[in-house]
Amino acid sequence: MKQLIIAVMLVSLVGCANTGAPVKIKWPDAPAELMEPSEDLTPLATDQVKLSDLIDNANTNYAKYYNLKDRFDTWQQWYKTHSQIYQDAR
């Protein structure tokens, strides 16, 4: 009986010594919304000389700029968060 207990303990200790397969952590894929290319700004045509045309064009480009800025800020936040998670998991 004593030998059986020693054998069971020996087998369990040898089993605990095995590290098993190494765990490989995969870096997560970025959300598709953050990977879309940005819109180009709209140039003002040379035949548009009215001030209202200039203001409309500037408003359109400001909207595109702030949309791009929001996506860029979101991208940075996503990257920093997932980078920290990845570093903590290692």
pLDDT in tens, 24-56: 778 888 888 888 888 899 999 889 889 999 999
User: What is the spatial distance between Cα 34 and Cα 78, in angstroms, rounded to a whole number?
Assistant: 9
- Domain coordinates of the chain in residue numbers? 24-89
- Residue 60's contacts (CB-CB under 8 Å, 6 or more residues apart) are 42
The answer for residues whose C-beta is within 8 angstroms of residue 61's C-beta and 6 or more apart is 41, 42
Could you tell me the pTM of the whole model? Answer: 0.59
